[in-house]
C-alpha cells in the first residue's frame, strides 16, 4: 500500500462521496478495510500500553512499598483522567476532525508511557499515569467518528467488532512481551518499549487513513445549534450506565487477575502471562461474534446482553472461590466470553442513530460510563481485598453484570428508536437511515 502524496483531511470537500453507486463497492470497501486495519493497530497499542502496569504492579508495589489500595490508585489515576477526557475528546473530535485528534492522542500517550518508566516515587507514578490517561482519553470518540465516517450502518458493528478485538490481542501480546522484559531488564523497560510503538502507528495513520465517506447529513446546522443540550440527553446516560456495568466486570477481572494468580495462588509471572492467553483469545472471538450478531439483529442489544450477563453473574462466584489456577482461569474465560459478547451490542444503536455532528461527543458520553467503572473498580477491589479477601472482591463484580442487564432492558433497542429518543431530548430533527449511511 503506497502513501498518498497529501494525506486527505477530515474536512476535505474533494473526498469521495459513496452516494454514487458506481464508486461504492470498490472505493468504499477498500476504505473500510484500510480503516479497520489502522484502527485495529491503534487500539492494539492503546490497550497494550495501559495493560503493562497490570503485569508489573507487584514489582512496582515492592519497589515503592505500596499497599493493595495504593496499587489500585495507580491504575485508577489513569482511568480518572481517561474518564474526564472523554467528553472534551468528543468535542475536540467534532470541532477539529478525528484524524487530527487521533494523531495528537497517539503522540502524547506514547510520551507519557515512556515517562512512566522514569517515575521515582508513588506521587510521580500517580501524576504520570494521570497525564497518560488524559492523552488516551481523547482517542475513543475520535476512533468511533473515524469508523462512522468510513462505514455504512449495516456493516458498522461487524467492523467495530474486528477493531475492538485488538484489546484481546493486546491482552495476549502484552504479558508475553512484558514478562520477559521485566524479568531480564526490570519493570521500567516494559514502558520504554511500549512507547516506541506509538510513533510508528502515528506515521501509518497519517499516511494511509482514507478520507471520510460520510459528511454529516442534511440539517447539520440545526444539530450543531443543539450541542449544548447533549449532556442532558437521558438516553445517552442510560447507555453509559450499561457500559458502566459491563466494565465493572471486565475492569475488575482484568486489573486484579494477574496479581491474584501471582500473589495468592503462587503462579510465576511468566506463567501468569501464558494462563491469561485463554481468556484473551476467547475475548477476541466473542467481540467479533458479538459485533456480527448485532449487525444481523439490527441492534436489539437486549437479546444478547441479558443472557450474557446472566452467564457472567453465575460464573463470577465460581471463579472467585476456585482454589486452583486452572479452575480460576476456566471460569474467568467464561466471564470474559459473556462480557465480550455484550460489548458491541451496547454501541450498536448509538453509533447507527447519532446525528453526524454528534458522533464524537455522543459516543464520548457513553464511553465515559465505562471509564468511570474502570476508574472506580481497581481501588475499591483493592480496599475490599485488604479488608476481606480477593475472593470477596471478585464475587462483588456480580453487581456490574446486574446493572448492565437492567440497562439493556431500559434502553432503545434499534437505531430508529434511539434517534427518536435522542432527537426528542435534544430538540433536533432526527436523521434517517439513508442520511446516516
What is the per-residue pLDDT across 18-37, written as a single tens digit (0 to 9) for each? 333 344 567 777 888 888 99
Q: Can you give the pLDDT at residue 166?
A: 85
For helices 234-263 and 325-353, what crossing angle results, to 10°? 160
What whole-number distance in Å separates Cα of residue 227 and Cα of residue 136? 24
Helix/strand/coil (H, E, C) string of the chain?
CCCCCCCCCCCCCCCCCCCCHHHHHHHHHHHHHHHHHHHHHHHHHHHHHHHHHHHHHHHHHHHHCCCHHHHHHHHHHHHHHHHHHHHHHHHHHHHHCHHHHHHHHHHHHHHHHHHHCCCCCHHHHHHHHHHHHHHHHCHHHHHHHHHHHCCCHHHHHHHHHHHHCHHHHHHHHHHHHHHHHHHHHCHHHHHHHHHHHHHHHHHHHHHHCCCCCCCCCCCHHHHHHCHHHHHHCHHHHHHHHHHHHHHHHHHHHHHHHHHHHHHCCCCCHHHHHHHCHHHHHHHHHHHHHHHHHHHHHCCCCHHHHHHHHHHHHHHHHHHHCCCCHHHHHHHHHHHHHHHHHHHHHHHHHHHHHCCHHHHHHHHHHHHHHHHHHHHHHHHHHHHHHHHCCHHHHHHCCHHHHHHHHHHHHCCCCCHHHHHHHHHHHHCCCCCCHHHHC
Query: How many C-alpha atoms does 260 have within 13 Å on its Cβ side?
Result: 30
Write down the pLDDT at residue 195: 81
Q: Among 304, 23, 299, 15, which residue's Cα sits nearest to residue 154?
A: 299
Q: 24 with 155: CB under 8 angstroms?
A: no
Q: How far is CA 343 from the centre of its chain?
A: 9
Better pLDDT: 269 or 120: 120
Give the span between the Cα atoms of 408 and 119, in whole angstroms.
42
Q: 409, 238, 252: which is closest to 320 by C-alpha?
A: 252
Tell which wins on pLDDT, 366 or 19. Answer: 366
Considering only the C-alpha atoms of the chain, give the largest distance between any 2 of them, rounded to a whole number of Å: 65
What pLDDT shows up at residue 315? 93
Cell numbers standing for residue 114: 515512556
Q: Which of 27-31, 176-180, 242-246, 251-255 has the highest mean pLDDT?
A: 242-246
- Give the per-residue pLDDT at 406: 94
Residue 369 burial (C-beta neighbours within 10 Å; 0-12, 13-18, 19+): buried
Quick one: pLDDT at residue 112? 87
Percent share of the chain, pLDDT over 90: 15
Backbone phi, psi, residue 233, to 5°: -85, 110
Domains of the chain: 28-213+220-432 (1.20.1250.20)
In this prediction, residue 433 carries a pLDDT of 47
- Record the pTM: 0.72
Greater pLDDT, 140 or 354: 140
Q: How far, rounded to the nearest angstrom, does the alpha carbon of residue 142 sit from its chain's CA centroid?
A: 12
In this prediction, residue 84 carries a pLDDT of 86
Residue 425: band (very low, low, confident or very high) from pLDDT cuts 50, 70, 90: low
pLDDT band at 401 (very low <50, low <70, confident <90, very high): very high
pLDDT at 390: 85
Q: What is the pLDDT of residue 312?
A: 94
Average pLDDT over residues 70-75: 80
User: Contact 18/28 with Cβ under 8 angstroms?
Assistant: yes
pLDDT digits (tens, 9 = 90+) for 314-351: 999 998 888 888 888 899 999 999 999 998 888 888 87
Contact 256, 390 (CB under 8 A): yes
Per-residue pLDDT at 198 exceeds 60: yes
Question: Do residues 365 and 237 make contact, with C-beta atoms less than 8 angstroms apart?
Answer: yes
Cell 457472567 locates to: 312
Quickly state the pLDDT bin for 128 (edges 50, 70, 90). Answer: confident
**At 437, is the pLDDT very low, low, confident or very high (cuts 50, 70, 90)?**
very low
Tell which wins on pLDDT, 83 or 356: 83
Of 137 and 187, the one with more pLDDT? 137
pLDDT digits (tens, 9 = 90+) for 210-232: 888 755 443 344 445 445 667 77
State the pLDDT at residue 122.
85
pLDDT at 275: 82
For 186: left if phi > 0, alpha if psi spans -120 to 50, otherwise beta; the answer is left
- Mean of all residue pLDDT scores within the chain: 79
Q: The C-alpha cell of 10 is what?
A: 477530515
**Is 71 or 104 the better-scoring residue by pLDDT?**
104
Higher pLDDT, 53 or 136: 136
Amino acid at each position: 500500500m503506497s502513501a498518498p502524496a497529501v494525506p486527505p483531511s477530515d474536512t476535505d470537500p474533494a473526498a469521495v462521496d459513496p452516494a454514487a453507486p458506481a464508486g461504492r463497492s470498490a472505493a468504499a470497501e477498500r476504505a473500510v478495510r484500510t480503516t479497520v486495519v489502522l484502527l485495529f493497530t491503534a487500539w492494539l497499542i492503546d490497550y497494550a500500553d495501559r495493560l503493562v502496569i497490570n503485569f508489573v504492579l507487584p514489582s512496582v508495589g515492592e519497589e515503592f512499598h505500596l499497599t493493595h489500595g495504593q496499587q489500585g490508585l495507580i491504575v485508577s489515576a489513569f482511568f480518572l483522567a481517561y474518564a474526564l477526557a472523554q467528553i472534551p475528546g468528543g468535542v475536540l473530535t467534532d470541532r477539529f476532525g478525528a484524524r487530527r485528534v487521533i494523531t495528537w492522542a497517539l503522540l502524547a500517550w506514547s510520551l507519557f508511557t515512556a515517562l512512566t518508566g522514569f517515575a521515582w516515587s508513588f506521587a510521580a507514578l500517580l501524576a504520570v499515569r494521570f497525564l497518560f490517561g488524559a492523552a488516551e482519553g481523547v482517542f475513543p470518540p475520535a476512533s468511533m467518528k473515524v469508523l462512522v465516517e468510513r462505514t455504512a450502518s449495516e456493516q458498522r458493528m461487524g467492523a467495530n467488532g474486528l477493531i475492538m478485538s485488538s484489546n484481546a490481542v493486546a491482552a495476549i501480546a502484552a504479558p508475553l512481551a512484558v514478562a520477559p522484559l521485566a524479568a531480564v531488564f526490570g519493570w521500567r523497560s516494559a514502558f520504554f518499549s511500549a512507547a516506541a510503538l506509538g510513533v510508528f502507528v502515528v506515521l501509518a495513520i497519517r499516511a494511509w487513513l482514507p478520507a471520510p465517506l460520510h459528511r454529516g447529513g442534511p440539517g447539520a446546522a440545526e444539530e450543531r445549534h443543539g450541542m449544548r443540550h447533549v449532556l442532558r440527553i437521558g438516553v445517552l446516560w442510560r447507555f453509559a450506565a450499561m457500559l458502566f456495568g459491563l466494565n465493572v466486570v471486565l475492569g475488575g477481572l482484568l486489573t486484579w487477575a494477574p496479581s491474584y494468580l501471582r500473589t495468592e495462588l503462587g503462579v510465576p509471572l511468566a506463567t501468569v502471562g501464558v494462563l491469561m492467553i485463554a481468556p484473551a483469545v476467547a475475548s477476541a472471538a466473542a467481540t467479533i461474534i458479538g459485533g456480527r450478531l448485532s449487525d444481523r439483529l439490527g441492534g436489539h442489544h437486549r437479546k444478547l446482553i441479558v443472557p450474557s450477563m446472566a452467564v457472567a453473574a453465575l460464573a463470577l462466584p465460581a471463579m472467585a472461590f476456585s482454589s486452583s489456577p486452572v479452575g480460576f482461569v476456566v471460569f474467568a474465560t467464561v466471564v470474559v466470553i459473556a462480557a465480550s459478547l455484550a460489548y458491541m451490542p451496547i454501541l450498536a444503536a448509538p453509533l447507527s442513530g447519532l446525528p453526524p455532528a454528534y458522533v464524537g461527543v455522543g459516543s464520548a458520553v457513553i464511553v465515559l460510563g465505562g471509564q468511570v467503572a474502570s476508574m472506580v473498580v481497581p481501588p475499591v477491589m483493592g480496599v475490599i481485598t485488604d479488608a476481606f479477601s480477593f475472593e470477596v472482591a471478585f464475587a462483588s463484580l456480580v453487581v456490574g453484570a446486574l446493572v448492565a442487564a437492567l440497562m439493556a432492558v431500559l434502553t432503545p433497542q434499534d437505531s430508529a428508536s434511539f434517534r427518536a429518543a435522542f432527537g426528542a431530548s435534544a430538540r433536533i430533527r432526527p436523521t434517517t437511515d439513508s442520511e446516516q449511511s
